[in-house]
Amino acid sequence: MSMTGILLAAAIVGGTGLFIGVFLGISGKKFAVETDERWEAVVDVLPGNNCGGCGYAGCSGLAAAIVAGAADVGACPVGGTPVAEKIAEIMGVDASVQVRKTAFVKCAGTCDKAKTEYIYSGIRDCIMAAQMQDGGAKGCSFGCLGYGSCVEACQFDAIHIVDGIAVVDAESCKACGRCINVCPKHLIELIPYSQKTAVRCNSSDKGKALMEVCQTGCIGCRLCEKNCEAQAVTVNNFLAHIDPEKCTNCGVCAEKCPRKIISIRAV
C-alpha cells in the first residue's frame, strides 16, 4: 500500500472517531437524566446493608423511593431513629418517631421438650427439612426445626440455635426481617423492643394433641386471657396472642400460664 493510501485510511479512521466522539458528547448532554442530589445524600446516610428489610431492592432502591415520596424517611429498619432523623433533614421534613422492634421466635420446643418422630439425615436446612414427611422430624408440625436457615440469613449475628430452637438476641437484632422471610414454619415475627411478654408458641392444635408431642406449648386454657386486666391477651384457635398496643408488661399472664410458655424479657 502506498503512503498516500495509508494516510487516507488514517484520516478516515481518525475522522470517524472524532465524529462519533462529538456525537456522543452532544447526545450525552442532550439526553442526560438529571440525578436528584438528595438521592445521593440519602444513599450516603443509609447503612448500606442492602438487607431488603425495607421492602425495596437494597439501599439505593429505598433512597429512590424516599426521594420520590413513595417511602417514609424512617423506612429503614436497620438505621432506626438516628438514620430517619438524618434523612428527614435532607428531605426537609419532620421525622416521625420510630418504634424499635426486634424479631421473636414463637417456639419453646427445645430438644428436651419436643418429641421427635424420626431421624432426619438430609441437608441441614429448615427449608429442605420442612419438605420431608409431616413437615419435618419434629412431632409438633408448627415447631422450630432448628437447622438454622434463619441464622444463615441474619447479617447481624443476632439469631442462633440454642438447644434445638432459634433464639434472637434482641440487643443485636436490627428488625430487618430476613429471618422472617426464610422460616418455612412462619415462626418469627417482629414485636416492639419494649414489649417484654410474648407467647413462645405457634401451634393451633388442641391441648391434648399438643401435649402428646411437646411438654411445653400453649394449650389454649385462657387463663392468661382471663387474668389480663388490660385485655391485651386473646386466645384464638387454641393459641394465645398478646396485643403490644394494649400490653402494659405487668407480667400477670406469664405468672398465670400453667405451661410457662409466655416469656418475660428484661427491657
pLDDT at residue 28, rounded to an integer: 56
CB atoms near residue 82 (< 10 Å): 11
* Cα 68–chain centre separation: 24
Mean pLDDT of 2-7: 66
Does the pLDDT value for residue 29 go beyond 70? Answer: no
Mean pLDDT of 124-134: 93
Q: How confident is the model at residue 13 (pLDDT cuts 50, 70, 90)?
A: low
Mean pLDDT of 107-128: 94
| pTM (two decimals) | 0.77
Does the pLDDT value for residue 1 go beyond 60? Answer: no
Which residues have a Cβ under 8 Å from the Cβ of 177 and sit 6 or more positions away? 51, 52, 53, 77, 103, 190
Q: How confident is the model at residue 57 (pLDDT cuts 50, 70, 90)?
A: confident
- Polymer length of the chain: 267
What fold does the segment set 101-264 form as a domain? Alpha-Beta Plaits (3.30.70)
Compute φ and ψ for 199, nearest 5 degrees.
Answer: -90, 120
pLDDT single digits (tens) 198-243: 999 999 999 999 999 999 999 999 999 999 999 999 999 999 999 9
Minimum mean pLDDT range among 47-51, 149-153, 192-196 = 47-51
Q: Is domain 37-91 given the CATH code 1.10.15.40 in the classification? A: yes
Which residues have a Cβ under 8 Å from the Cβ of 239 and sit 6 or more positions away? 199, 201, 202, 203, 204, 218, 220
Does the pLDDT value for residue 3 go beyond 80? Answer: no
Distance CA 197, CA 3 (A): 90
Distance CA 150, CA 159 (A): 7
Secondary element (H or E) of residue 189: strand 188-192
pLDDT at residue 125, rounded to an integer: 94
pLDDT single digits (tens) 156-176: 999 999 999 999 999 999 999
* Cα 215–chain centre separation: 29
Distance CA 182, CA 169 (A): 18
C-alpha cell at 151: 441464622
Mean pLDDT of 132-157: 95
Distance CA 46, CA 55 (A): 14
pLDDT single digits (tens) 175-193: 999 999 999 999 999 999 9
Whole-number average pLDDT of the chain? 88
Where is pLDDT greater, at 87 or 32?
A: 87
Distance CA 166, CA 110 (A): 9
Where is pLDDT greater, at 267 or 91?
A: 91
CATH 3.30.70.20, the chain: domain bounds: 101-264
pLDDT at residue 32, rounded to an integer: 47
Q: Is 54 left (phi over 0), alpha (psi -120 to 50) or beta?
A: alpha
Does the pLDDT value for residue 19 go beyond 80? Answer: no
CA-to-CA dists, residue 135 to 116, 117, 164, 183, 245, angstroms:
12, 11, 16, 13, 33
Minimum mean pLDDT range among 44-48, 102-106, 234-238 = 44-48
Compute φ and ψ for 180, nearest 5 degrees.
Answer: -65, -40
